[in-house]
A and B are shown apart, each in its own frame.
With several copies, the nearest count.
Chain A
């Protein structure tokens, strides 16, 4: 079988944000039911579930059967449920397992769900849980937080003259502007460059308004083998590539993990970066979008600031990036993020992204990274989606 045998037939989200009264079950329910309604299916049409979550063990005490416990709430039992965890890339990792399950012939319709509830009574517990995205045997005790890892990456590029602080600010402003258009987004307020630069320092050069924050949310995707579910006259979205890679011990001289993973995805699809019409990239800190431009091949080394400045990556540009607001503004409910990206791309490819619709995209790219080793992310996943129907 080939990769274009799999279709995205439904997507759904629970809005991202702070939802104090909502349990993991509530968040998951809204995302999954929305995705099934979108697909025109009932819960009994599903053959298998892949469930993504990163922190419920540490934050809610629910280890081991996270997926089974949230799925029974929506009446899903008996079919195989597999819990998948890969830090901030848990959602896209689960998506990839669903792709493999269909390709393997073990299922025709698979529900992929990601949920995270990061707001708990003690914020310190959430920060501590986030630190477990590193190899604690190596880094525990030095105070290495996610924001610090990104702060160091960005400073290096600024010091080398490949990015400017103005670029970091500009991309953060763009992120918030896009988030403001997205009803599912956590941060829906337009901010000025001055506000970004003047907000509280987090891990310099990063300020508060450049960073994703603690977030609750859920997202779900229904995949199906081509032809199993009638399209109902709606544009068809296919999975053209599904790739994953693990970080490595860096010497500072090799291609980045994202680059490696994206290269494999382009090869699988027989496409190149020039074919990508809209992308959702991993910007746990908004300026990381600029790094992704280079690593995904949207520009050459040192070209990210110019690409951003050209307006090409704006919603109305020639290659919009993070029209949803990205992790920084849509929000980063860790285990749900990879699937929220796919939900956004599906809406974009179908032409349903009201208010933030990009111009007739055909190919969408989702880039989701997770965790860190010394100098690199621990996980990268890149998916390519295609709208197969013409735009009128």
Chain B
């Protein structure tokens, strides 16, 4: 298995990170390992150029924290979470916007994608369609 295919993948800036509705990364055709953002070589099996893959818009909030130390452009408190996207998607960090509700580990969440140029680019909200 040569690595050659990893030489001609799009640059990191050229690879989409979302499609306006969902996060986009890569999924290895060989072993199924996923990555967000996409990578040039699979971290699990070493296969080059894993395919671009659109992840589920829903996921499970594994854990979260409310941060009380502000950062520039980011007033405190704000909530961060670690989310495992559904359908064996990747585990990602992101802000969690509860709109007044209380977060809970195991809660169903849905990804939200910001407008062009918005920071952060994506965040999570409670999935109000979940059971």
Contact = CB atoms under 8 A, between A and B. Distances in A.
Interface stretch (A81-89, A151-159, A183-191, A304-312): A151-159
A151 B66 CA distance: 8
B80 to A, nearest CB: 5
A26 interface: yes
Given A143-B95, A249-B33, A74 B69 contact: no
B63 A143 contact: no
A145 interface: yes
A75 B7 contact: no
Size class of the B contact interface (CB-based, 8 Å): 35 or more
B43 A21 contact: no
B98 interface: no
Interface in B31-78: 33, 35-37, 39-46, 48, 62-69, 71-72, 74, 78
Interface string A41-82: 011100000000000000000000000000011111100000
B7 A144 contact: no
Given A152-B80, A374-B91, A204 B43 contact: no
Interface string B83-112: 010000011111100000000011000000
A367 B68 CA distance: 28
Contacts of A375: 82, 91
Contacts of B92: 374
A183 B55 CA distance: 40
A175 interface: no
Given A72-B43, A159-B63, 17 more contacts: A21-B13, A21-B14, A23-B11, A26-B11, A29-B7, A37-B7, A44-B46, A138-B36, A141-B121, A142-B94, A143-B71, A143-B78, A147-B67, A201-B66, A203-B65, A203-B69, A374-B91
19 contacts: A22-B11, A22-B13, A26-B13, A29-B6, A33-B40, A37-B3, A43-B41, A75-B43, A75-B44, A75-B46, A76-B41, A141-B119, A142-B120, A145-B71, A148-B67, A148-B80, A203-B65, A203-B66, A203-B68
